[in-house]
Amino acid sequence: MKVRVTRRQAGVVDVAIHTEFIKLQDFLKFADAVPSGGMAKTAVQAGDVSVNGEVCTMRGKKLRPGDLVSCLGGTWRVTADGD
> Given this model, what pLDDT does residue 9 score?
44
Average pLDDT per 10 consecutive residues for the chain, totaling 83 residues: 46 92 96 93 96 95 96 93 69
> Given this model, what pLDDT does residue 10 score?
55
What ranges in the chain are assigned the alpha helix state H? Answer: 24-30, 37-45
Q: Give the global pTM.
A: 0.82
